[in-house]
């Protein structure tokens, strides 16, 4: 009987350690997204592939910024996150797309910050 328990716990230990060996943090793989999921435009694919080297493009697409702010973000990726600078030509194409496709959004009525003193 003791032998059976030994064998059973040994098998369990093997299963657990095998499981642990395969446990990996959920990771983004570029295959999860395709450029076609995002609004069409000149430079879309360039922007998609430039940015998805590190993170998904939804992170980019959920922002709305002016060209200057996009340029700052790009610079921030380079300064803070070790992105390799884009060649000037590609940088223009990418910024053109980001500016045209993800401009600053006005808050929808009833959402976002509301001035409590403004007449309704």
Residues at the site binding ligand HEC, with contacts judged by CB under 6 A: 47, 50-51, 53-55, 59-60, 63, 73-74, 77, 81-83, 94
Q: Minimal distance in Å, beta carbon 51 to ligand HEC?
A: 3
Of 9 and 75, which CB lies nearer to ligand HEC in the complex structure?
75
Q: Minimal distance in Å, beta carbon 33 to ligand HEC?
A: 13
Instruction: Please say whether the dihedral angle defined by the alpha carbons of residues 50, 55, 56 and 59, taken in this order, is positive or negative.
Output: negative
Of 38 and 77, which CB lies nearer to ligand HEC in the complex structure?
77
Q: Minimal distance in Å, beta carbon 110 to ligand HEC?
A: 25
In three-state form (DSSP H/G/I as H, E/B as E, the rest C), the secondary structure along 36-96 is HHCCCCCCHHHHHHHHCCCCCCHHHHCCCCCHHHHHHHHHHHHHHHCCCCCCHHHHHHHHH
């Amino acid at each position: 009987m003791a032998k059976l328990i030994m064998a059973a716990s040994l098998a369990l230990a093997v299963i657990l350690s095998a499981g642990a060996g395969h446990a990996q943090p959920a990771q983004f793989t570029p295959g999860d997204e395709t450029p076609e999921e995002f609004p069409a435009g000149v430079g879309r694919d360039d922007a998609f592939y430039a940015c998805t080297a590190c993170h998904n493009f939804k992170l980019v697409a959920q922002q709305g910024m002016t060209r200057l702010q996009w340029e700052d973000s790009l610079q921030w990726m380079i300064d803070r996150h070790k992105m390799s600078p884009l060649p000037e030509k590609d940088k223009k194409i990418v910024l053109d797309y980001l500016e045209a496709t993800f401009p600053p959004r006005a808050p929808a009525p009833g959402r976002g910050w509301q001035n409590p003193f403004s007449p309704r």
